[in-house]
Amino acid sequence: EPLKQLPLGIPDNTFTEPPQCMPEEYKVPGCSITAYWNYYEQEKYLIASKTEELITRDKLYEQKTI
């Protein structure tokens, strides 16, 4: 109930694209989501533990459609 309306002084008509805090080769202008997927799939998986499963975009979408 308290958050049904925005508090005064908070604009509701703008969106700020989140920063892409990663090496340049993974960045995608205007699309942080794609950039972070690129970074995760191509580099971050290297630091995951051996017991972790690598989740890729394709695998994630397969799981959601089943």
What gap in Å lies between CA 35 and CA 25, rounded to an integer? 9
Q: Which residue has the higher pLDDT, 18 or 2?
A: 18
pTM: 0.61
Per the domain annotation, does 9 fall within a domain? no
Number of H helices, E strands in the chain: 2, 0
Q: Considering the domain boundaries, does residue 36 fall inside one? A: yes
pLDDT at 66: 47
Q: Which of the pair, 1 or 18, is modelled with greater confidence? A: 18
Position 20 scores a pLDDT of: 97
Give domain status of residue 59, yes or no. Answer: yes
Number of domains into which the chain is organized = 1
Q: In this structure, is residue 5 part of a structural domain?
A: no
Residue 51 domain flag: yes
* Containing structural domain, residue 58: 24-65
Computed over its alpha carbons, how large is the radius of gyration of the chain? 17
15 found inside a domain: no
Amino acid 64: pLDDT: 62
pLDDT in tens, 15-65: 889 999 999 999 999 999 999 999 988 887 666 677 877 778 887 777 665
